[in-house]
Structure 1
Amino acid sequence: METKNWYAVYTKSRNEKKVNELMTRNGYTVYLPLIKTLRQWSDRKKMVELPLIPSYVFVHVSEREYYRILETPGAIGYVTFEGKAAPIPEKQIEALKLALDKNVDIEISADTIEPGVLVKIISGPMKGAEGEMIRATHKKNFLIRISHIGFSLKLEIDAKDVMKL
């Protein structure tokens, strides 16, 4: 029996449910943590399920399935640490599932990228640009310096649009 590990996969913005559905349909074990939240429009209020962690799905795959996952439309790549896909311990996935099942109040903080770390912008108009994380400006935004263009450009960008290099 092949050993399987959990990995986090980046998705295109707002493609988490589509990627989850396509991967599940292709026979992969996928976990997309969702939270229910009340959304209000000008004419109504509605409970909707949104991804707990924007632009992420979790996959449980073997070495043989590893690269095929990225053929899924909407999947961008694996979350990496020091250049390699970072396996996630089964216990952490189970703890996340349990917390959501028990309606534990969860707050996701994306400011784990430390100042000085090199980052790549993975979506939006600056997609593909690389820069240096300067600081988290508030809950969801980072200030990034892009200096590979002949001068330094500081821009504020949503945390979901950035990944560590």
Structure 2
Amino acid sequence: MNWFVLCVKAQQEKKVADILTKMQVEVYCPMLKETKVWSDRQKVVETPLFKSYVFVKLEEKYRGIVFGAPGVIRYLFYLGKPALVRDEEIWDIKKWMAGDSKDLNALSQLIPGSEIVIQNGVLKDHKGIVYWINKNNVSFFLKEMGVSAQVKLRDVV
């Protein structure tokens, strides 16, 4: 069995994945949790990692079954054939997604004034004091160098 890429209608990824799962098709639709902020409230919403795409694993002869789900447009093609995704690539996405949620947990524990240690990049193993945090980045002050720096959240412990 192979992983194929389905093109689906905009903002229908999760719905299509749910319907295909009920049809007993193996589906993978990686979702990111994001905090949306309005003037009066905040809400955590799930958005697809790949907009308008869903991965399905099935045998070549059963490819047509997916068109029974509303919202499915077509398969993604590459060089005139349906695009195939290797199992290793799906596992890599799943591992990356699991690590991304760890980043979000780390962000929730960071507060201005806390000490961090950089794990990756040019500033690896340097310590700093957090003074500003946003969705993906952490700004901090490096005491030993006397400078401010900003790194991606995933590079911080």
- The TM-score, its normalising length taken from structure 1, stands at 0.59
By how many angstroms is 1:47 displaced? 1.1
Deviations 1:24-60 (A, max 9, x none): 0000000000011110123211111110011111000
1:38 to 17, 35, 39: 35
1:5 aligns with 2:2: yes
Deviates more, 1:38-47 or 1:50-59: 38-47
Deviations 1:112-162 (A, max 9, x none): xxxxxxxxxxxxxxxxxxxxxxxxxxxxxxxxxxxxxxxxxxxxxxxxxxx
- Determine the structure 2 residue equivalent to 1:56: 53
Inter-partner Cα distance in structure 2 for 1:54 and 1:41: 22
1:66 aligns with 2:63: yes
1:100 aligns with 2:84: no
Higher Cα radius of gyration? 2
Deviations 1:7-29 (A, max 9, x none): 11000000001100000000000
Inter-partner Cα distance in structure 1 for 2:21 and 2:93: 19
By how many angstroms is 1:89 displaced? 0.6
The amino acid of 1:65's aligned partner reads Y
Deviates more, 1:79-88 or 1:27-36: 79-88
**Partner of 1:54: helix, strand, or coil?**
coil
- Determine the structure 2 residue equivalent to 1:26: 23
By how many angstroms is 1:72 displaced? 1.4
Any unmatched runs of 5+ in structure 1? 106-165
Q: Determine what percentage of the aligned residue pairs are the same residue.
A: 36
- Determine the structure 2 residue equivalent to 1:117: none
- The TM-score, its normalising length taken from structure 2, stands at 0.62
Greater share of residues in helix: 2
Inter-partner Cα distance in structure 1 for 2:91 and 2:48: 17
Q: How does 1:109-148 map to 2 (within 5 A)?
A: none
Inter-partner Cα distance in structure 2 for 1:70 and 1:8: 13
State the number of aligned residues: 102
**Partner of 1:7: helix, strand, or coil?**
strand
Deviates more, 1:87-96 or 1:66-75: 66-75
The amino acid of 1:35's aligned partner reads L
By how many angstroms is 1:66 displaced? 0.7
- Determine the structure 2 residue equivalent to 1:78: 75
Inter-partner Cα distance in structure 2 for 1:93 and 1:70: 22
Moved over 6 A (4+): none
